Chains A and B, each alone.
Chain A
Amino acid sequence: MMTLNEDQRLLQDSVRPFMAEEGAIKKQLRYWRDINCADGFGHSLWKQFAELGLTGIMIPENQGGAGLGSVEAGILLEEIGRNLTPSPFLTTAVAAVRALQGSALAERWFPGILAGETVAALAIEEGKHHDPANIALDARRQGNGFVLDGAKQFVVQGGSADFILVAARTGGSPNETAGLTLFAVERGAAGLEVENTQLADSSWAARLKFDKVALDADAVVGEVDNGWEPLSRALNAGRAGAAAELVGVAAGASELTFEYLKQRKQFGKLIGEFQALQHRAAHLYGEIEIARAASLKAAQLLDAGDEKAEMFVSVAKAKAGRVSALAVQEGVQMHGGIGMTDEHDIGLFMKREVVLSELFGSPRFHAARVAELSGY
């Protein structure tokens, strides 16, 4: 069924007001931005997430979590998107948890995530575009462990993370999925240089340099040379999650905009009376509904372990990215001059959208992937 079941609806009914209140733009995004916080999010909110059981939403029940899936995470992420709430939820509670799931390292890191004390980051990208198989960062064996040399970028919350999941090459050559190994690198590892950079949306990501970073063998997530497997799990969950968050961004931006159309007067009329704007607003509404359906479908297929899941995750990420871009562009345009000011929130949606669309693959990347997976 493509409607929410009762438990999912209850979850939505509880997180929607929570995020609107505690995760509100003024209380979180603007607050941390305006005091120049180098994390860009509040650890206290992450703690509140934990108290509500949200940080462990995807952690299996026998390890203390809620044992839920991408559909439930998506319900939460849509609200996060709607309120532009900065938090480590997507990278830590969704992507990193899925990567660690079933590995020996789960026991090491899950308790901290459950407690809202641990933040994780993913270090995948080596170029300016998402290209997860194109990895050159070198991990060579030394004694019982490994030594890492190379660089990563666009490591979201890399400066705040207690551990970073690093995709490195132990075999094969760039663009091959075989020969990759995923490592969990702890904060402060010797030889790891972290350059924390603020992005357009006031969130923080890091550029990392690995200079002979020595790791024990137990830093390996899963198996050596088989890192594509946990990485794919993280990517699928991360992409589906980002799609849901993008739907939230689109919904939040459009709600502000539709409201504005009912308030702003020009030529003695509410601007929402002009058909030129009505039709664009109606088109946008439909596109957001479609993106939400695609996002839900992808999450359901992922949770069911369906073979079409990968394809649909790409459909959802591409569609949600495009639609969210439309929502923020129409949003700023329909707000007119006020939409260009920092004082108004609509511009913040535009800035969040551009970051989130790039994260885990742009709409172009995912459309190309749909073509590849379809055999053309």
Chain B
Amino acid sequence: MADLDSFRSETRSWLEANCPAEMRTPMRGEKDLCWGGRHFQFQSGAQKQWLDVMASRGWTVPDWPTEYGGGGLSPAEAKILKEEMRSLGCRPPLTSFGISMLGPALLKFGNEEQKKKYLTEIARGEIRWCQGYSEPGAGSDLAGLQTKAEDKGDHYLVNGQKVWTSYADQADWIFCLVRTSTESKHGGISFLLFDMESPGVSTKPILLISGNSPFCETFFDDVQVPKDQLVGEENKGWDVAKYLLGHEREMISGMGLGSGVGTGASGVMLGPVAKPEDPLLRAEIAAFDVDALAFAAMSERFIDQLKAGEAHPAMPSMMKYAGTELNKRRNELIMAAGGSDALEWESEQSKGGKPARDWLRSKANSIEGGTSEIQLGIVAKHILRLPGA
């Protein structure tokens, strides 16, 4: 315990000394996130400096092993770092699908060379990854995917189409599910990594109801992928895919906590909205706060259970379902509290239509990463063991 106490005080003073003041102000939205990658435009020198100092300490991925660019921290130390960053208001130095999704899968399924190369690049924020999972004909039924990878001796030849690829137009590399065999549905899928600059890759942003285009259609036309970019064994990619989906669900479930934690202006979990005069709205916000604070306790418990090896493998599905439904409700309440102010789409006072756009964006939460219905089906089958589920 004494060790942890000294780790806490050292961490705190290091953060105070190294986190630029600008990186200790609240983020104004998604645009303040640092995604890293070859083409990333830093918002400021401070943003780049913050990434560099954290990466040099391995603290962009504090609990990954040091040999792969991580901080080598124990779960308890990583938790302390997170707490200290929160209490000082430090922004996350780097956000990426490499950290939250691919990294954990590579740590489990990647070979030594792959771990050394890809994990280190992720930790330093050098490569930005995107996820090639869904296809036009394979949404909830993900294992029905048809993108084909043919064995051409020293490489695979990839042809097909992905959809809902988040930020594909800004990503450097893709982790992609492909079909290497048609003999078995789940047993014919492989997990490939390749460069988005490879000849034959093209992307097309999809305009969403929020007016934004965070997702793309991604097309593969005779893309050559070297064989050493296969993760795990050929035709065993579904295991990697499922493991990664668990991490994706954990990440998405965190959205239920919102960004307003502790602001205290109105609803605890709602963020700074004006004190509701309408008693019915107040009641709805209070009921939401009860659910959101209870879910925050659940999130804390879930992380501790994961670390202790006590979490059921299907728990991420429960968390994803509960967290995303909560985030949709949060956005509904922000719209209700905002009244006609929140309907403005472009105005300065609405920060470019932030409430309405966020509200519309939140509707995807219970669709992406497996719909709520898919998650409930997984819980029914794997946790409750209901028949025929």
Identify which of residues 250-288 in chain A touch chain B, using a CB-to-CB cut-off of 8 Å: 258, 261-262, 269-270, 272-273, 275, 277-279, 281-283, 285-287
Cβ B389 vs Cβ A278 within 8 A: yes
Which residues of chain A come closer than 8 Å to B373, judged between CB atoms? 279
Identify which of residues 290-335 in chain B touch chain A, using a CB-to-CB cut-off of 8 Å: 290-291, 293-295, 297-298, 300-305, 308, 310, 318, 321-322
Cβ B376 vs Cβ A283 within 8 A: yes
Cβ B294 vs Cβ A286 within 8 A: no
Which residues of chain A come closer than 8 Å to B267, judged between CB atoms? 374, 376
Q: Which of A272, A363, A367, A371 contacts B386 (CB 8 A)?
A: A272
Which residues of chain B come closer than 8 Å to A364, judged between CB atoms? 283
B202 to A: closest C-beta gap in Å:
39
Give A318 to B301 CA distance when docked, in angstroms: 19
Which residue on B lies nearest to A297, using beta carbons?
B297
Cβ B295 vs Cβ A1 within 8 A: no
B255 to A: closest C-beta gap in Å:
16
Cβ A296 vs Cβ B297 within 8 A: yes
Give A278 to B268 CA distance when docked, in angstroms: 33
Interface: B384 (CB within 8 A) = yes
Which residue on A lies nearest to B283, using beta carbons?
A367
Interface: B127 (CB within 8 A) = no
Which residues of chain A come closer than 8 Å to B389, judged between CB atoms? 272-273, 275, 278
Cβ A293 vs Cβ B387 within 8 A: no
Interface: B208 (CB within 8 A) = no
Interface: B78 (CB within 8 A) = no
Count residues of A near B (Cβ-Cβ below 8 Å). 45
Which residues of chain A come closer than 8 Å to B282, judged between CB atoms? 371, 376
Which residues of chain B come closer than 8 Å to A44, judged between CB atoms? none
Which residues of chain A come closer than 8 Å to B302, judged between CB atoms? 293
Give A328 to B82 CA distance when docked, in angstroms: 39
Cβ B308 vs Cβ A293 within 8 A: no
Cβ A376 vs Cβ B266 within 8 A: yes
Cβ A279 vs Cβ B293 within 8 A: no
Identify which of residues 235-271 in chain B touch chain A, using a CB-to-CB cut-off of 8 Å: 264-268
Identify which of residues 62-97 in chain B touch chain A, using a CB-to-CB cut-off of 8 Å: none
Which residues of chain A come closer than 8 Å to B138, judged between CB atoms? none
Which residues of chain A come closer than 8 Å to B286, judged between CB atoms? 367-368, 370-371
Q: Which of B285, B322, B384 contacts A371 (CB 8 A)?
A: B285
Which residues of chain B come closer than 8 Å to A185, judged between CB atoms? none
Interface: A3 (CB within 8 A) = yes
Which residues of chain A come closer than 8 Å to B305, judged between CB atoms? 2-3
Mark interface residues in A354-371 (1 if CB within 8 Å of B CB, else 0): 000000000110111011
Which residues of chain B come closer than 8 Å to A204, judged between CB atoms? none
Interface: A294 (CB within 8 A) = yes
Which residues of chain B come closer than 8 Å to A371, judged between CB atoms? 282, 285-286, 289
Which residues of chain B come closer than 8 Å to A273, judged between CB atoms? 386-389
Mark interface residues in B358-389 (1 if CB within 8 Å of A CB, else 0): 00000000000000010111011001111111
Give A314 to B289 CA distance when docked, in angstroms: 11
Which residues of chain A come closer than 8 Å to B336, judged between CB atoms? none
Interface: B275 (CB within 8 A) = yes
Interface: B46 (CB within 8 A) = no
Which residue on A lies nearest to B379, using beta carbons?
A282
Which residues of chain A come closer than 8 Å to B387, judged between CB atoms? 261-262, 270, 272-273
Q: Which of B297, B304, B322, B379 contacts A294 (CB 8 A)?
A: B297
Q: Which of B290, B298, B304, B386 contacts A1 (CB 8 A)?
A: B304
Give A297 to B286 CA distance when docked, in angstroms: 19
Interface centre among A291, A293, A316, A319, by most chain B C-beta atoms within 10 angstroms, is A293
Which residue on B lies nearest to A318, using beta carbons?
B290
Which residues of chain B come closer than 8 Å to A49, judged between CB atoms? none
Cβ B275 vs Cβ A3 within 8 A: no
Which residues of chain B come closer than 8 Å to A336, judged between CB atoms? none
Interface: A337 (CB within 8 A) = no
Which residue on B lies nearest to A321, using beta carbons?
B290
Which residue on B lies nearest to A258, using beta carbons?
B384
Interface: A218 (CB within 8 A) = no
Interface: B276 (CB within 8 A) = yes
Give A29 to B321 CA distance when docked, in angstroms: 37
Which residues of chain A come closer than 8 Å to B207, judged between CB atoms? none
Question: Contacts A279-B373, A374-B289 given: A285-B301 contact, CB under 8 Å?
Answer: no
Give A59 to B154 CA distance when docked, in angstroms: 73
Cβ A285 vs Cβ B386 within 8 A: no
Cβ A279 vs Cβ B290 within 8 A: no
Question: Contacts A3-B308, A370-B293, A374-B267 given: A282-B384 contact, CB under 8 Å?
Answer: yes
Interface: A97 (CB within 8 A) = no
Interface: B287 (CB within 8 A) = yes
Give A257 to B275 CA distance when docked, in angstroms: 42
Interface: A289 (CB within 8 A) = yes
Which residues of chain A come closer than 8 Å to B301, judged between CB atoms? 2-3, 293, 296-297
B90 to A: closest C-beta gap in Å:
22
Cβ B321 vs Cβ A270 within 8 A: no
Question: Contacts A285-B384, A367-B286 given: A294-B293 contact, CB under 8 Å?
Answer: yes
Cβ A312 vs Cβ B293 within 8 A: yes
Give A133 to B305 CA distance when docked, in angstroms: 39
Give A291 to B289 CA distance when docked, in angstroms: 13
Q: Which of A258, A283, A370 contacts B290 (CB 8 A)?
A: A370
Give A297 to B297 CA distance when docked, in angstroms: 6
* Cβ-closest 4 pairs across A and B: A2-B301, A294-B294, A297-B297, A282-B379
Q: List 17 A-B contacts (CB under 8 A).
A: A2-B305, A3-B301, A3-B304, A272-B386, A278-B377, A279-B380, A290-B298, A293-B301, A294-B293, A296-B297, A316-B294, A319-B290, A367-B289, A368-B283, A371-B285, A374-B289, A375-B275
Q: Using a CB–CB distance below 8 Å, which chain B residues touch chain A?
A: 264-268, 275-276, 282-283, 285-287, 289-291, 293-295, 297-298, 300-305, 308, 310, 318, 321-322, 373, 375-377, 379-380, 383-389
